[in-house]
Homo-oligomer: A and B are copies of this chain.
């Protein structure tokens, strides 16, 4: 008998494996069940991770009282259905980022979380990277001074590899392309660090990918604090993950080797955070405590399912990250004119019911 929180994996592709390995590095949660529509895939995943049982249907998985929470890695455009069904079945729900492919779906999920009172977590893992946690400490204790410019990039080569067999190829399933898959991480992390985004100006282009979606996106964010932020995302180059914060007292530069992204227990070994104060000729390395973003977010989620922890990134935070994606798309269609984040969110919410 174990006291680990019993989780079930739903959608058993590459990302489910990355998360399963993260969960198994810890000792708080246990992968207890799994489901994919493909029986062969299901059996293979069950065997690979030594999972006690698998379910023949999603309904069967949700009807299993032993399952305390589900971990969803199905395509973005299925999230609304898969998430709300689990919430309504009384399960705690973790879904990979983005919360959904559209704000309309995200709002429905947020409403289901409110209506059911369920535990809900979204995998905006990157804010948990040790470099970003350290940045947050420097902001909070005043070492950075006031931040005026925050610049981030998240790029890789996936746009050059996409085929029509993958859902990320299609604009209706993955609107915003590189930005909804990669940039959305920085959209969350920058709001974690600097507070809410007020407006977004952006240009999205389809340059080298054969897919329907943009592979080169540049977005300028204005924060409610007044600071300016930049997110660059590309899908047609070797991998980049970086963030620089320029403050009135110091700068912090963070750079992570993308080839180790999936092995989050090693990410800190392949990251550098350097600080720069006035008059220093050489940037100083900042020591980073070891972290493991995938393990930590799943353990937090598992404990939250038992009421023993609070979810850091829930529907509200995830909606604000996805709203940046939507604002990027709308601003680009308006030739870069800034789009208000609040207006984007409100415009996608259903009109309130007449009393």
Residues of A within 8 A of B (CB): 146, 148-149, 151, 153, 155, 157, 160, 201-203, 205, 207-208, 215-218, 220, 222, 226-228, 230, 232, 234, 236-238, 240, 244, 246-248, 250-251, 257, 259-260, 270, 276-282, 331, 334-338
Please, could you name 8 A-B residue pairs with CB atoms under 8 Å apart, sorted by A? Answer: A149-B153, A149-B155, A151-B151, A201-B336, A205-B222, A240-B244, A270-B281, A336-B336
Assess the B260–A237 pair: CB atoms within 8 A.
Answer: no
Contacts of A202 in B (CB 8 A): 220
Assess the B337–A216 pair: CB atoms within 8 A.
Answer: no
CB distance from A276 to the nearest CB of B (A): 5
A282 and B270 CA atoms in complex are apart in Å by 9
Residue of A155, A228, A279 contacting most chain B CB atoms (<10 Å): A228
What residue in chain B is nearest A235 (Cβ atoms)?
Answer: B148
Residue of A217, A220, A250, A280 contacting most chain B CB atoms (<10 Å): A220
> Which of B201, B217, B237 lies in contact with A247, CB distance below 8 A?
B237
Assess the B248–A160 pair: CB atoms within 8 A.
Answer: yes
What residue in chain B is nearest A209 (Cβ atoms)?
Answer: B148
Assess the A153–B244 pair: CB atoms within 8 A.
Answer: yes
Assess the A236–B203 pair: CB atoms within 8 A.
Answer: no
Contacts of A207 in B (CB 8 A): 146, 148, 226-227
CB distance from A239 to the nearest CB of B (A): 8
7 closest A-B pairs by beta carbon, nearest first, are: A201-B336, A237-B246, A336-B338, A337-B337, A148-B216, A218-B220, A149-B234
Assess the B148–A237 pair: CB atoms within 8 A.
Answer: yes
A215 and B155 CA atoms in complex are apart in Å by 28
Assess the B148–A208 pair: CB atoms within 8 A.
Answer: yes
Contacts of A257 in B (CB 8 A): 281-282
What residue in chain B is nearest A148 (Cβ atoms)?
Answer: B216
